[in-house]
Structures are given as C-alpha cells and as structure tokens.
Amino acid sequence: MEIERPLEGKKILVTGGTGSLGKTLVRRLLTGEIGVPERITVFSRDEAKQHFMRLEYLHRTAATDEVIYQNSQNVLQFRIGDVRDPAAVAGALADTDVVFHAAALKQVPSCEYFPYEAVLTNINGAANIVRAIKELRLPVETVVGISTDKACKPINVMGMTKALQERVLLEANRDLAHCRIMCVRYGNVIASRGSIVPLFVEQVRNRQPLTVTLPEMTRFLLSLDRAVDTVFAAIRTGRPGETYVPKVAAAKIVDVAKALMGGEELPIIFTGIRPGEKIHEIMVSEEECYRTVERGDYYAILPVLPEIRGEAEFTPALETEYSSKDQNISGDELKELLRSAGGEIERFLTAAG
C-alpha cells in the first residue's frame, strides 16, 4: 500500500546530513514533495560542513523553486554529534518521527586501512539508533538505513560493515513493532564526493592521463536525485525489513572515461585494482533472488528472517544476481546519464560538447 504524503507534519532526523546524499536529501525534503515536515534536523560531527550548509539555506528565499518555506531556517535545524556516541544519538532521536540514517565511513581504501573505525561508525552507529529507540521507548515511526551495493556479497571492509549495518537495522523489526525499519541499496553516485567521475573531470580539465584500475571494471551509475528517489520509494511503499534497490544503468569505467573526454584524445592508464575493490558490483545476490519482488522501478528484497517476512505468497522478480557486468551502456546513452547528475558534471559535458 502506498502512503500519499508520508512526511506531512513529521519531525525528521538526517544522520550524516552534510554528506553528498544527505545534502540532496535535505534539499528534496524541503520541497515538501512527499509531505511538508514540521522539522528537519541535520545530525553530523563536522561543524564546518554544518556551518556552510546553514549559511547556504539562510541565503535562500521562498522565491526559489526548491524551498517552499517563508523561513526555511526555522524548519531546518543542525545538531553536532557522532553516531558512535550513544548519548548523542539518544538525544538527537528524542521527539523524532522519521530517521534517515546516512552517516557512514564509505571510502573503500580508508576502511581497508582503518577497519575498526568502519566498525565503530557503520555498525555501532546503526546499533546505537536501534538501542536508543528500544531502551528509551522512543516513538520513532520509521527508520531508513542508507546502504550500498558493496554490502551485497562483500569482499571489502566497507561492504562488510554495511552488510552488518543492514542486518542490525532490519532485525530490529522483531522487537520494535511500532517502528518500520527498512534499508536502501544503490550503486556509484555519479557526483558524490570522492567518486570516480569528479576525478575524471579534473583529469580531463588538466589534460592529464585518465586513471582506471582495470579495463573490465564496471559499476552501477545513478544521480544523487535518483538515490533520493529510492529513499522516497521505500518511505512510500516499503514494509518492515525490506531493502529497496533501484533499477539503474551500469557501464564499464573505461567507457565512462571516454564519455567524459568529449572530443579530446587523452591516454588511459590502468593502475591495477585497489585494496578491497571489486571488478563488478552486485545489488541483489543469487541467494537473495528467491525473496526479491518487483515494485515498479525498484526491486524490494524481502527480509531474511521468516518471522519478519511473514507468510504472504510472492513471485520472485529475478532468476539470477543483479550485477553491473550485465547490459552495460555506452556512447550517447552514457553521456545522457552522466548529464543527469546535474551541477558541475552537466556543465562540464555541455561545454565539452
């Protein structure tokens, strides 16, 4: 069943709200497209990022087509804290209806070199949210955990910790009958901080060789807004314990590099696979296929625990894993997808022709 305006009048907490996804999510929440919230609180540990984000919204007016409020600063609030800190998490969750949990350590090499730091943020952070709701009997109605394709059949620390984050959140549905807890998984966000596309743009601008790990490397690609669409789809139609996965395009990284060159003929250097990197990403594993259903432009992976999944009959939507190695796009289709990221990437491609 679809909920028409699930965020109408809700008090919302966005952990990691100053990150790439968090900022886009907040912008979309402020439009009121799935309900006008009473309050949106950005919770993160970086005071500088919060300061600049606050200034950005102080300069917006009701005349913009993105922010509908007379005074968005009265709706949008900021709170310093770390998801690793149980007391900070509990304080942030008080008087909250909906939680979007986007705080994470997400850089694959960083997590490989500092694995326990990834455990503290990605696993313990989720556990702190669940623990606070349960032990303090907080009336939180919905939690959406932001996960990654790397959590599916993980081979790196980031993926392993995100896989456990998913399980910590989804399993909590057993004890929190009043709270609907779901996750979303998606692939490489085109314009996110630290991703490959901004690096390629910088290399092309400087007429440097483009660095690619392996010729056969592939990735799922989507814009930040498509990632937020997935979060909103889960809020509208998701059920407790489900994981939403968008149906998105995938491409060879070599083709992404060529698409960003425009008319340039720059060399491509293959640097070799980095610690913890996969050649292809998977968003639904062959083990998850049998409990994956179709929901329009998304797949919903049903809970692994039968007591959360229930006994309702369903028809599996997939017969094999959903992998980036299949049905890769290239050429004009790939350029159009890259343009969909908007902002600097779109301007760069337009200028390059």
Ordered by where they begin, the domains of the chain are 11-352 (3.40.50.720)
Residue 62 confidence (pLDDT) above 80:
no
Residues 6+ apart with CB under 8 A from 330: 251, 252, 255, 259
For the segment 201-217, the average pLDDT, to the nearest whole number, is 92
**SS3 at position 171:** helix
Q: Give the residue carrying structure tokens 């998977």.
A: 282
Residue 200 confidence (pLDDT) above 50:
yes
pTM beyond 0.85:
yes
**SS3 at position 345:** helix
What are the b/e assignments for 204-239, b being 16+ CB within 10 Å?
Answer: beeeeebebbeeebbbbbbbbbbbbbbbbbbbbbbb
Tell me which H or E stretch contains 72. Answer: helix 72-75
Instruction: Give residue 49's pLDDT.
Output: 95
- Residue 320, classified by CB atoms within 10 Å of its CB into exposed (0-12), middle (13-18) or buried (19+), is exposed
* Residues 133 and 86: beta-carbon distance below 8 Å: no
Catalytic residues: 150
| pLDDT band of 235, cuts 50, 70, 90 | very high
- The string of DSSP letters for 6-59 reads TTTT-EEEEETTTSHHHHHHHHHHHTTBTB--SEEEEEES-HHHHHHHHHHHHT
Instruction: Give residue 276's pLDDT.
Output: 83
| pLDDT band of 60, cuts 50, 70, 90 | low
